[in-house]
Structure 1
Amino acid sequence: MTGQQLKNSILQMAVQGKLVPQDPNDEPASVLLERIRAEKEQLIKEGKIKKEKNPSIIFRGADNLPYEKIGKNEPICIADDVPFEIPESWEWVRWGTLSESIQYGYNAPAQENGRIKMVRISDIQDNSVMWETVPYCDIKEGEIDAYLLKPNDILFARTGGTVGKSYLVQEIPEEAIYAGYLIRTRYSNQLCPQYLKYFMESELYWSQLREGTIATAQPNCNGKTLGNMLVPIPPSHEQIRIVEKLNAVMAHVIEYGTIDSRSKHLNNIFPERLKKSILQEAVQGKLVPQDPNDEPAAVLLERIRAEKQKLIAEGKIKKNKHESIIFRRDNSHYEKLDGIEHCIDDEIPFEIPETWEWIRLGSLFTINPRNNIADDTVVGFMPMPLLKDGFHSGHTYETKLWKDVKSGFTHFANNDVVIAKITPCFQNRKSAVIHDLPSGYGAGTTELHVLRDYTKMLYIPYFLMICKTHDFIQNGMKNFSGTAGQQRVGKDFIFNYLVPLPPVNEQKRIVEKVNVLIKSCDIL
């Protein structure tokens, strides 16, 4: 049960007479309503309020069913209109019968300065008026009294996204009127205004409002709908007891709602946090056991370097002018770059197994390669929407001729890793291993970085996994450049990013395990 559902349930009990016990010594609500009618008649005689055209009187008939007499018409049974039974000491009454007046607000432009403050719908937040920001308006002196707010008035939003929201006026720091999109309802001081306000938060109130709301692009509800609402009225003393009970209970309901919302939020974010933890365990060598029979990553790197030298000699790839070699010495990590060795212990984020090595992405992959294929080749074309986000690898493509997409787009091929470089696609993990392209080649959005392994010695899904880790995303965001809303991760970040490199067979075991666990997280 949500906090709102709990609140609705308690308010339903309150308006049905089930929240507090009835006291046989209480004056019945029928007597209270007679006094209110007499009071209204007196105010009409004094010219302070207008006479109702067709006043409503609801009473119990000899058959104990509710009947309503409207104006001079014959009473009719309204048992089908009454939503539930109420205690014998209670009465059903129309909102318009209870109200001394139901009046629309004053229409005037808001101003920084003026004759008097004017409360608008937007000034009411969380059952409070933000008095400091309430604007002023100009109004003729003789019109002020008709719109002047008084304690215990209830304001009602009659249009827009907040239609039906109500506010009980309790404190007025300075004279104020109310704006045209609000309705003011005013009552006899023999009624408990807090009870009426709680009624306006109940499902009984909202269900009647929905039936009477005009369904347009801008929903609105008029004073007639409000006046026709059925309200269950308890004896005066019971109204007070109900309000006291609700005031005490609602503090706990709010606390429950806060805890429930926080719990739901944690449940919602837990799968993603778990996925991040799984990837972190994976890249630290803690997800699957090491196999002493695996070829160490150091040997793999020697074979990769030898293969790259061969490819350079054949003119298939360019020589890396700033080749990085990372090695261990004296229990520390050193990097040889441009012939200079220096300790990089402060860059190493965590310990890795003995059979693993640290390496920069730029030492393993060609970053953002270009394809060299015939113009009439049919290729895959991938705009950003066709690259899926999240922790899985997924993409689709359109088909194009190479001549139509070779210029002005990013090049890629089967088994390349593509990474969205622009915000928010980067943070949303839009990245994938490219596969199943027609002719094996493609192009797409310019907002991609591409990793290509010309040596074909690496297990590429492992490196896609690296690009989806929390560390990769967070460090990439720290290296954003560009204007707000158009920030990007640069090529240098990708090139220099340190990755933990396991033996190839362990790369495969890690990815297999990660895929199983991530899939399990998806069904949590």
Structure 2
Amino acid sequence: MNAQDLKNSILQLAVQGKLVEQRAEEGTARELLEQIKLEKEQLIKDKKIKKSKPLPEITEDEIPFEIPESWEWVRLIDLCSLISDGTHKTPAYVEYGVPFISVKDISSGVMDFSNVKYITREEHEKLISRCKPEMNDVLLCRIGTLGKAIKICTDKEFSIFVSLGLLKLIEADVADYIVQVINSGYGYRWIDDNKVGGGTHTNKINLDTLRGMPIPIPPLEEQHRIVAKIEEILPYIDQYDKAYTKLEIFNKKFPEDMKKSILQMAMQGKLVEQRPEEGTADGLYEQIVAEKAQLIKDGKIKKEKPLPEIAEDEIPYEIPSSWRWVRFSEVMDVRDGTHDSPKYIETGIPLVTSKNISGGGLYFSNVKYISREDADKINERSNVDTGDILFAMIGSIGNPVIVNKDREFCVKNVALFKNYDKSKMCIEYVYWFLYREQYIMKKVASGGVQSFISLKVFRNYLFPLPPFEEQKRIVAKIEELLPYCDQLIK
């Protein structure tokens, strides 16, 4: 339950008479209503207000919940000398003058003069002759943002727009309670159920409808105790809101943070035990180097420039003694797609870029196409096979994907990781290493308008190499644990 739901629940308890106890010595709501009725009749007799059109008695069907015996259901107009709205005409605004208030200035739950518009004194006098907001009156949003109500707690002069309704209560002491009723779950639902508009039309609550709103009324002293209890509780709800927000942020981050932690442990050799019978990474490394040398000799790959020795200050964390730090290009064939922009055609060979890579998959719905001739030229240096890894190196850095090739395509501005020997390097282990490293790469990516990771950086990137069998056990453990992280998201 979030803070707003909690607040709604408390307000709902309040308007049902369940937030504070009833006290016989405080009388009944009927006595209060009789007093208000007499005061209203006197105002009519003195011609201070006009007699309103009588509304029908509240029926059983209109009563949404039970209230204490000392309470009464009454229509809103029976508590008010006036229910009106602001001007329907947009006045001319001036730089300085009298504040002109609309929904945006009270929708936060308080009256906010920081961004109001202003009208002339002459215009203001004209508007308040029909609808004059004063201290202890109630304003509510009746067009657009519906239902939010506040009590006027300032003697500052202002006028209001048609989007606001104005309630002038016969008994000013009732105002605080009425605000809580309108802002309660009951008040919100009633106004929402009785609004007009929607779709292409702005929602609004008509004044005649608002006048007939059923209100659950307690004795006046009980109203005061209800409001006091709500005001006592609200600071705790604010504290709850802050804690809940932090928890929500934590809950959203926790699964991904847990996944990162699992992958970090995996790449540090802490996720599975080391087994002497599986040999060492040094032995594996020598086998891969020999395989690579044979591929160069056979003309299947080109000889690269020698890579620099790994310095002590480059090593980011400790790994088991049976592992070895290597540079990526020592154990993987690291390439990239074309950097050129070939001519696009309506149909042809798909050209995959970073926008086609997401969530561990390749998507061809918005791919562009190139000719067979251009595709053959690109594939001479960066042909993609099933089991290769693609990794976006420009723009949206990361999003590694293991290719399961079901169609021909070429790549542009995408890093391509190919195995020298599938019996010596587990491609899934490489994938999970890249999955984890993408977060670091995004932070260190260079570039001005568009961030990028160069092919040189990929080839020189440090890679923790375990023995082959341990690589497979690490992948199995990762794939066993990560589904639990995904379950935390749901």
TM category, shorter = 0.7 to 0.9
TM-score, length basis structure 2: 0.85
The answer (yes or no) to whether the contact 1:380–1:437 under 8 Å persists in 2 is no
Question: Partners of 2:243 and 2:383 in 1: how far apart?
Answer: 50
Question: Partners of 1:37 and 1:411 in 2: how far apart?
Answer: 88
Match for residue 468 of structure 1 among 430, 435, 443: 435
Deviation at 1:397, TM superposition (A): 5.2
Deviation at 1:480, TM superposition (A): 4.2
Deviation at 1:511, TM superposition (A): 0.9
Question: Partners of 1:43 and 1:7 in 2: how far apart?
Answer: 37
Aligned match of 1:421:
393
Question: Aligned in 2, Cα 1:490/1:53: closer, same or farther, shift over 3 Å?
Answer: farther
Question: Partners of 2:69 and 2:77 in 1: how far apart?
Answer: 22
Question: Partners of 2:370 and 2:123 in 1: how far apart?
Answer: 74
Match for residue 213 of structure 1 among 195, 212, 217: 195
Question: Partners of 1:249 and 1:8 in 2: how far apart?
Answer: 12
Question: Aligned in 2, Cα 1:404/1:350: closer, same or farther, shift over 3 Å?
Answer: same
After TM superposition, the runs of 4+ consecutive aligned structure 1 residues lying more than 6 A away are: 378-381, 398-402, 407-410
Deviation at 1:287, TM superposition (A): 0.4
Question: Partners of 2:439 and 2:389 in 1: how far apart?
Answer: 15
Deviation at 1:185, TM superposition (A): 1.8
Question: Aligned in 2, Cα 1:411/1:215: closer, same or farther, shift over 3 Å?
Answer: farther
Opposite residue 404 of structure 2, the aligned amino acid is: H
Question: Partners of 2:316 and 2:107 in 1: how far apart?
Answer: 47
Which deviates the most, 260-269 or 272-281? 260-269
Deviation at 1:157, TM superposition (A): 1.6
Structure 2 residues without counterparts, runs of 5 or longer: 339-347
After TM superposition, the structure 1 = structure 2 runs for residues 216-295 of structure 1, keeping only pairs within 5 Å, are: 216-217=198-199, 218-295=202-279
Cα displacement string for residues 16-67 of structure 1 (whole angstroms, at most 9, x for unaligned residues)? 22222222222422232223233333334444433312345xxxxxxxxxxx
SS at match of 1:92: strand
Structure 1 residues without counterparts, runs of 5 or longer: 57-67, 69-76, 327-334, 336-343, 371-377
User: Which structure dedicates a bigger proportion of its chain to helix?
Assistant: 2
Supply the RMSD in Å over aligned alpha carbons. 3.0
Question: Partners of 2:112 and 2:313 in 1: how far apart?
Answer: 52
Question: Partners of 2:13 and 2:111 in 1: how far apart?
Answer: 29
The answer (yes or no) to whether the contact 2:263–2:432 under 8 Å persists in 1 is yes
User: 2:403 matched to 1:434?
Assistant: yes
Aligned match of 2:304:
320
Which deviates the most, 305-314 or 193-202? 305-314
Question: Partners of 1:15 and 1:239 in 2: how far apart?
Answer: 9
SS at match of 2:481: helix
Question: Aligned in 2, Cα 1:271/1:488: closer, same or farther, shift over 3 Å?
Answer: same
SS at match of 1:117: strand
SS at match of 1:431: strand
Which deviates the most, 347-356 or 309-318? 309-318
Aligned match of 2:65:
84
Cα displacement string for residues 59-118 of structure 1 (whole angstroms, at most 9, x for unaligned residues)? xxxxxxxxx1xxxxxxxx712221222223221111122222222223436856133112
Aligned match of 2:333:
365
SS at match of 2:84: strand
Aligned match of 2:24:
24
SS at match of 1:318: coil
Aligned match of 1:449:
415
Opposite residue 25 of structure 1, the aligned amino acid is: E
Aligned match of 1:65:
none
Cα displacement string for residues 90-147 of structure 1 (whole angstroms, at most 9, x for unaligned residues)? 2111112222222222343685613311223223353223322222234525314244
Which deviates the most, 204-213 or 175-184? 175-184
Question: Partners of 1:325 and 1:299 in 2: how far apart?
Answer: 20
Question: Partners of 1:251 and 1:121 in 2: how far apart?
Answer: 25
The answer (yes or no) to whether the contact 1:368–1:411 under 8 Å persists in 2 is no
Cα displacement string for residues 329-387 of structure 1 (whole angstroms, at most 9, x for unaligned residues)? xxxxxx3xxxxxxxx333221101112122222333322157xxxxxxx9776566663
Question: Aligned in 2, Cα 1:379/1:5: closer, same or farther, shift over 3 Å?
Answer: same
SS at match of 2:183: coil
The answer (yes or no) to whether the contact 2:387–2:402 under 8 Å persists in 1 is yes
After TM superposition, the structure 1 = structure 2 runs for residues 122-521 of structure 1, keeping only pairs within 5 Å, are: 122-124=104-106, 126-138=108-120, 140-145=123-128, 146-160=130-144, 162-171=145-154, 174-217=156-199, 218-321=202-305, 323-326=306-309, 335=310, 344-363=311-330, 364-368=332-336, 387-389=357-359, 393-395=360-362, 403=372, 406=375, 412-423=384-395, 425-426=396-397, 430-438=399-407, 441-444=408-411, 446=412, 448-456=414-422, 457-469=424-436, 471-483=437-449, 486-521=450-485
Question: Aligned in 2, Cα 1:140/1:8: closer, same or farther, shift over 3 Å?
Answer: closer
The answer (yes or no) to whether the contact 1:381–1:397 under 8 Å persists in 2 is no
Question: Partners of 1:20 and 1:515 in 2: how far apart?
Answer: 54
Question: Partners of 2:150 and 2:426 in 1: how far apart?
Answer: 63
Opposite residue 175 of structure 1, the aligned amino acid is: E
Question: Aligned in 2, Cα 1:325/1:242: closer, same or farther, shift over 3 Å?
Answer: same
User: Which structure dedicates a bigger proportion of its chain to strand?
Assistant: 1
Cα displacement string for residues 243-293 of structure 1 (whole angstroms, at most 9, x for unaligned residues)? 111111222233234333433443333222111100000000100111212
SS at match of 1:129: coil
Question: Partners of 1:299 and 1:325 in 2: how far apart?
Answer: 20
Deviation at 1:517, TM superposition (A): 0.5
Opposite residue 116 of structure 2, the aligned amino acid is: V
Give % identity. Answer: 33
Aligned match of 2:11:
11
Question: Aligned in 2, Cα 1:434/1:208: closer, same or farther, shift over 3 Å?
Answer: same
Question: Aligned in 2, Cα 1:404/1:315: closer, same or farther, shift over 3 Å?
Answer: closer
After TM superposition, the structure 1 = structure 2 runs for residues 40-51 of structure 1, keeping only pairs within 5 Å, are: 40-51=40-51
Question: Aligned in 2, Cα 1:314/1:347: closer, same or farther, shift over 3 Å?
Answer: same
Question: Partners of 2:428 and 2:85 in 1: how far apart?
Answer: 66
SS at match of 1:293: helix
Which deviates the most, 232-241 or 150-159? 150-159
SS at match of 1:191: helix
SS at match of 1:463: helix
Aligned match of 2:100:
118
The answer (yes or no) to whether the contact 1:366–1:454 under 8 Å persists in 2 is no
The answer (yes or no) to whether the contact 1:55–1:97 under 8 Å persists in 2 is no
Question: Aligned in 2, Cα 1:385/1:368: closer, same or farther, shift over 3 Å?
Answer: closer
The answer (yes or no) to whether the contact 2:26–2:219 under 8 Å persists in 1 is yes
Question: Aligned in 2, Cα 1:210/1:369: closer, same or farther, shift over 3 Å?
Answer: closer
SS at match of 1:186: strand
